[in-house]
Amino acid sequence: MRESKPVRYLLRLDDLCPTMDAGRWQCFFALIDEFALEPILAVVPDNRDPDLDRSPADPEFWPRLRALEAQGAEIALHGLYHQALSPGRSLVPLHRKTEFAGVPFDRQRAWMREGLGILRAQKLHPQLWVAPRHGFDRDTLRALAAEGIGVLSDGFARAPFTRYGLVWLPQQLWAPREKSSGVWTICMHPNTATEEQVEELRGFLVRHGDKFISVDQALISFPPKPYGLGERLFAARALGRIRIAHVGKVLRA
């Protein structure tokens, strides 16, 4: 049984690319500055997803990322093109099609190498993987290890764990929620976030900003342990709740 520890939170912001919605992203960058956050910034190296073409390409995009990384943000490789064309089954089965799950190992590794090369050419230092649409399989993890990436942000658990030779930093929330213990990653998509959702996050930070930590702090405070039965049961319950909520949303539509 894991020792109970005070609750801690991580903020993860997905779908960063030069053509992201400039106005909406500015709201989140302002929160990072105001509350001195060290978030996970999931960057699409070579965006080819038209849904992420929301503003003219920002010439300050890469310099801003370098500045945020220098202030403690964690740069994450968020796929390569952000296209969901493969029907392969993911280890976190939330979507029917993803970018990586089901793609041959050699191609996955080549995509990762290309994406990492783009980020490193911009003088960034990605150490973390964030799969578009939670889509990854055992070959993805093998490819990550082969390319020197040992940590991914995904999976359902109450604290970091090890599985298939990598460290998983779980991502369980898509909106701020108060918890009593463990480390919880709140993932938000600023390109589509509403003003109400931004204000909800700001209110949560006003109340709990001192409980937000960095990736390094999370892994030090919550040393990863093998993926045990308790966390497997937690994951099964979490997936069940998500599926029930999805069915309810479809029925109400």
pLDDT digits (tens, 9 = 90+) for 127-162: 999 999 999 999 999 999 999 999 999 999 999 999
Domains (ranges, CATH) in the chain? Answer: 8-227 (3.20.20.370)
pLDDT digits (tens, 9 = 90+) for 10-54: 999 999 999 999 999 999 999 999 999 999 999 999 999 999 999
Q: Which string of DSSP letters, residue by residue, matches the chain? A: -PPP-B-EEEEEEEEE-TTS-HHHHHHHHHHHHHTT---EEEE-TT---GGG--SSPPTTHHHHHHHHHHTTPEEEE--SS----B-PPPSS---S-BSSTTS-HHHHHHHHHHHHHHHHHTT----EE--GGG---HHHHHHHHHTT--EEE----SS-EEETTEEEE---BSS----SBSEEEEEE-TTT--HHHHHHHHHHHHHHGGGB--HHHHHHHS--EE--HHHHHHHHHHHHHHHHHHHHHHHH-
With a threshold of 0.85, does the pTM exceed it?
yes
pLDDT digits (tens, 9 = 90+) for 201-214: 999 999 999 999 99
